[in-house]
Structure 1
Amino acid sequence: MRKLSKKSEELLQEILDHRLDNGMGDTEYWKKRLKSVSSAEDIIIRSQFKELKEAEMISVYWADNYPCFLSLLSNGISYFEEKNNIEDGLKSNSIVNNFYGSANGIQIQQGTYYSSQNQTRSTPIDELKITDLINTIKLYDSVLDAEYGKNNADELRKIAEELEKIRNKPNEEVKKRKLISIIRDISTNAVGGLISSGILQLVSSMLG
């Protein structure tokens, strides 16, 4: 999990505090909130939103001066709980790294709490992100036809159903990646609306 700057943590908390009943960010709140900020403040806030997006805490799509699509990803929802757990572990000296013998290909990165890298195999897709993707497609089901066209929208629904059947099955990684890649291709060819842009951001955070 990537450690955020203090200001970006404050922004994440504000986003968490202003969610709709469906879990999405309250874009009307942000429209009012950012209406009267100065140009300098706007630049700072946008940079904080960018940091949250790059840390895969949120998916966001901007209108002229406010985020018109704002979705909290699993990393953002669990950030503070995980941070507290890690800090508690560090205080009690319960986190210890022991290296015995030769250690080749190990990298320790600054700016992260945990960072494990496998240089020979691709990392399995985060199951929580698959759930985020499925839930996003379901949430906007009623408008998929308008943005994707009926045939592509139906294909998107079928893929979401198939992903739901195989999520949490580690032996289906290849199929998961293939299905998510199809979602990416379909969304790339959509009309460029808010929903397809939001889905593309989710998919990009999963496939890299």
Structure 2
Amino acid sequence: MVTTFSAYCERKFEVQPVEVKYCDGKSYVYPDLSVYNMEVPLSYITDSIGVSLDAQEVTSLLNQMQLQAKQSGSGENCSINVLVPPTRSDVLHACDVMEDVAIAYGYNNIPKRKPSSLKPLPLNQLTDLIRHEIAMNGFTEVVTWILCSKRENFEMLNRKDDKSTAVIIGNPRSSDFEVCMLYSCVLNSIGKVARDLRMMIRGCQTGGWL
């Protein structure tokens, strides 16, 4: 933002630095317009985009995107050394450099290919089959949290905590999400609905998380 608006200053492209002193004794000069260095493996760039490019092609594409780049190393250890100017504050990670290469190369020039992860996980596939069979028998699926409070899991079910049965969260965000348990969550939901409907409920919940 500073580099953009500096073009409209009375003295173009000139800004006044400010030193900010903190109570702990540290001080920093703002804005920080220094050029920083970033090292990105060539294999990361080419594998992520899905095209075969050599180091010279990658550096040429990055130069088109206002990033000064040069080759570092060779072979499997080949990487691209990128100097990120203050005008490119959007470049924060190696993925940003890879994205710039893809943009300069042209998304339409990247050959289309099917992702390698189209097959569902065996556990999810089994869960879907079980869910379908239960629904065909007249049960309504209940989708709840997989976390509940200790009170809902033990005291309200007249059970004692033996410290080994339930998976207890070490640092819960609230008292409502302390223990991993589908059973208690389903009973809690059915109990709230049953008070209003006053009729028989056939509910179920399937899950492969626990």
**Bigger share in strand:** 2
TM value normalised by structure 1 = 0.20
**TM-score (normalised: structure 2):** 0.20
